[in-house]
Each structure stands twice: as structure tokens, then as C-alpha cells.
């Protein structure tokens, strides 16, 4: 299907937090498509680094989802 995976290690990243919970640092990531030494296309995007999971919500109220989202351990 033409897809591939690549791992990029970032040492001691500053984590991105939701609005009001902390800083929102962004890192530039540049991807290029090459044909040998020739650059066919290049693009840069700015991305935030964070952890994201969910946990069981023991104190849910009627109509609430049975889980809570957790960002960077909060």
C-alpha cells in the first residue's frame, strides 16, 4: 500500500497541554520526498508531543461516559 513506519526519538520533549492546563510548545517536523538526491516535495508542520489515554470513571453521573481522558498523566 506504499505506507511505512518510522520512529523519531525526541530527548526530553516539552509536553503539550490542553488550553489552561500548561504550555503548548510545538516542534517543527519536516518531511521530504526524494528521488535519489533530487527533492520532489517537502513540507513542514508544527506538532505537539503529549501522552493521551483514558481511564475508568468511577464517579460518573447519569449521561456521562464511563471513562475520563488523561493527558500527560492528568
pLDDT at position 5: 85
pLDDT at position 19: 92
Three-point CA angle 47, 51, 54, nearest 5° = 130
**Burial class (CB within 10 angstroms; exposed 0-12, middle 13-18, buried 19+) of 14:** middle
Stated pTM of the model? 0.66
pLDDT at position 67: 86
Tell me: the pLDDT tens digits for 6-62? 888 889 999 999 999 999 999 999 999 999 999 999 999 999 999 999 888 877 777
Amino acid at each position: 500500500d506504499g505506507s511505512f513506519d518510522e520512529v523519531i526519538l525526541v530527548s526530553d520533549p516539552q509536553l503539550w497541554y490542553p488550553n489552561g492546563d500548561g504550555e503548548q510548545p510545538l516542534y517543527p517536523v519536516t518531511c521530504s520526498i526524494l528521488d535519489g538526491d533530487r527533492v520532489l516535495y517537502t513540507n513542514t508542520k508544527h506538532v505537539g508531543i503529549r501522552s493521551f489515554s483514558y481511564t475508568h470513571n468511577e464517579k460518573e453521573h447519569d449521561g456521562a461516559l464511563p471513562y475520563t481522558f488523561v493527558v500527560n498523566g492528568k
